[in-house]
Amino acid sequence: MNRIAIYDTTLRDGMQSERVNFSVEDKLKIARRLDEFGVAYIEAGWPGSNPTDTEFFHRVRDIEFKRSKLAAFGSTRRAKLAACDDPLLIKLIEARTPVVTIFGKAWGLHVRDVFRITCEQNLEMIYDSVKFLVDQGKEVIFDAEHFFDGYKSDPIYALETLKRAEAAGASCVSLCETNGGALPSDVFDATAAARRHVGICVGIHAHNDSGLAAADSIAAVQAGATHVQGTMNGLGERCGNADLCTIMPILELKMGLSCVRNGSMKDLTELSRYVDEIANLVPDDRMPFVGISAFTHKAGVHADAVAKNPQTYEHMDPELVGNDRRITVSSYSGASNIVHKAKKYDVDLTKQSPEIKGVLDQVINLEHDGYSFEEAEASFELLLKKSLGLYRKLFDLKGFRVIVEKRGPNEEAITEATLKVAVDGEEAFTVAEGDGPVHALDNALRLALAQFYGKELAKIKLTDFKVRVINTKAATAAKVRTLIETRDHNEVWSTVGVSENIIEASWQALADGVEYGLLKHVREKK
């Protein structure tokens, strides 16, 4: 019980998420990172089910995994075929993975209504399939599909499916909460019963349809399960699978159970964001442990207390999972938030500093106009440094013009930006096209600044652009707030702009984003 085996199925069950479609290269990259992180098992796909998985299992043979065992996934034999003649089981052998995981029905309803066979025939299919794979030298994990629904309907039969898998040589039986509707108390009771009836490892595979997948998984561990299946960031069909980014830190940091490589938990946030990046998904800011908001404090009372003792409003040290404490600034913020921010920027202030009131007044007035600095910390840093006389202006805008031309109903619109800036009195005038006004302005600004800050500018990349209407009642004359995300090789920052004119609002955020990055790299250069 001191060691919990983590079974990651991001590359198989996670790939069943809407809008997620990993390439072979994507799967190979994630598999390497999971091995480095130290999960016990990586379930990589279903051999023969699609060309991607077929190619993956061929190419992955050249990779030596140091900490993880690779598993191929499939099902029990078909009712009218012997195990040795079932092409799907043969594909599992041909995948050449040390571990094979097969699922079989543990709920009589599925056996009768889906397979349309007898319950005894289903038990024979489980036994024959597991034994065939074991005889081929495979470590076999049996996924008891719909186990908790089956246990609720007929506990004797559900438990018998586990016993047949054990008798055939399975190393572990994983109890699948397939429909995602069981309460943690039900999972605890059924897992405890499974532990009493089999002598091999018992695992849990939960889905999140009721928002309980992590809680169900922890309940199973408390009942004696030593094997936990899930996905990174909770990817999976419908509402997703159990989120390993939540479960693993609970096991390691709150329950004292070892589940990954020693010392790797501090890399959890980075791994979570890496998988989202590969999947081309926007990270969920509110994810427990790894979300950017997980240790973020907005209220002045909270910020003041956390500065004195982080335990007052944090359940753990964010550094333990590789995350950061953030103190956001808004009209709800107190002096403590400004002091905390100032320290981060190497500016020494106290709550009694006269500059504090001036900064807070600016924030309040700007938020009244529609600005928001909670997500735009780079814009706030520039505001703070301007207020304290620590700002160094890198360029002046002399003017810009943006033209959008559409030459026919079936033709693509063409956007052109003309821009003039000055650096230390020297002017630069450029013209650039883009896919839209913001892209064209970004291209023109880069062309203009390239002769002054070419090397530093090359490190900076605009990565996201969002628009929010502030006063919707004004319709097309409403103010808009734009948020632009920019990044370099090791940092991401966001900036904000507000105006009734969307291009002007975009320019404000764009200019702040580029200037913040340039100031950072010019400072590093010195």
pLDDT digits (tens, 9 = 90+) for 260-281: 999 999 999 999 999 998 998 8
pLDDT tens digits for 397-440? 999 999 998 878 888 888 999 999 999 999 999 999 998 999 99
Q: For residue 526, is pLDDT > 50?
A: no
pTM for the full model? 0.74
pLDDT at 1: 54
Give the three-state DSSP class for 281.
coil
Q: Which DSSP category does 207 fall into? A: B
Question: What is the percentage of the chain residues whose pLDDT exceeds 90?
Answer: 67
Mean pLDDT value across the chain = 90
Are the C-beta atoms of 225 and 191 separated by less than 8 Å? yes
Q: What is the mean pLDDT of residues 324-338?
A: 68
Q: Which of 469, 506, 510, 498 is nearest to 371 (CA)?
A: 498
Q: What is the mean pLDDT of residues 445-471?
A: 89
Q: What is the mean pLDDT of residues 253-261?
A: 95
Q: Which of 40, 507, 110 is nearest to 257 (CA)?
A: 40
- For residue 196, the tally of other CB atoms under 10 A from its CB is 11
Q: pLDDT band at 334, cuts 50/70/90?
A: low
- For residue 355, the tally of other CB atoms under 10 A from its CB is 16
Q: What is the mean pLDDT of residues 78-106?
A: 96
Q: For residue 343, is pLDDT > 60?
A: yes
Q: Which of 391, 306, 459, 221 is nearest to 230 (CA)?
A: 221
Q: pLDDT band at 362, cuts 50/70/90?
A: confident
Q: What is the mean pLDDT of residues 12-29?
A: 93
- Which stretch of 92-106, 290-304, 413-427 has the lowest confidence by average pLDDT? 290-304
Q: Which of 4, 92, 84, 81 is nearest to 43 (CA)?
A: 92
Q: What is the mean pLDDT of residues 240-263?
A: 96
Topology annotation, domain 76-229:
TIM Barrel (3.20.20)
Tally of residues, the chain: 526
Q: Which CATH architecture has domain 396-525?
A: 2-Layer Sandwich (3.30)
Question: What is the percentage of the chain residues whose pLDDT exceeds 70?
Answer: 94
Residue bearing the bigger pLDDT, 309 or 445: 445
Are the C-beta atoms of 73 and 43 separated by less than 8 Å? yes
- Which stretch of 104-108, 133-137, 311-315, 361-365 has the lowest confidence by average pLDDT? 361-365
For the chain, residues classed under CATH 3.20.20.70 are 76-229
Q: For residue 471, is pLDDT > 90?
A: no
pLDDT tens digits for 198-229? 999 999 999 999 999 999 999 999 999 999 99
Say which residues have a Cβ less than 8 Å from residue 419's Cβ, sequence separation at least 6. Answer: 397, 399, 400, 429, 430, 431, 432, 441, 444, 445, 447, 448
Whole-angstrom distance, CA of residue 214 vs CA of residue 243: 6
pLDDT at 331: 53
Q: What is the mean pLDDT of residues 2-16?
A: 96
Half-sphere exposure of 474 (CA within 13 A, CB side): 10
For the chain, residues classed under CATH 3.30.160.270 are 396-525
Residue bearing the bigger pLDDT, 338 or 103: 103
Half-sphere exposure of 453 (CA within 13 A, CB side): 27
Q: For residue 466, is pLDDT > 90?
A: no
Q: What is the mean pLDDT of residues 93-122?
A: 94
Are the C-beta atoms of 495 and 376 separated by less than 8 Å? yes
Q: Which residue has the tokens 């159990």?
A: 242
Q: Which of 307-316, 430-439, 461-470: highest mean pLDDT?
A: 430-439
Q: For residue 476, is pLDDT > 80?
A: no
- DSSP E strands in 265-367: the ranges are 296-297, 326-327
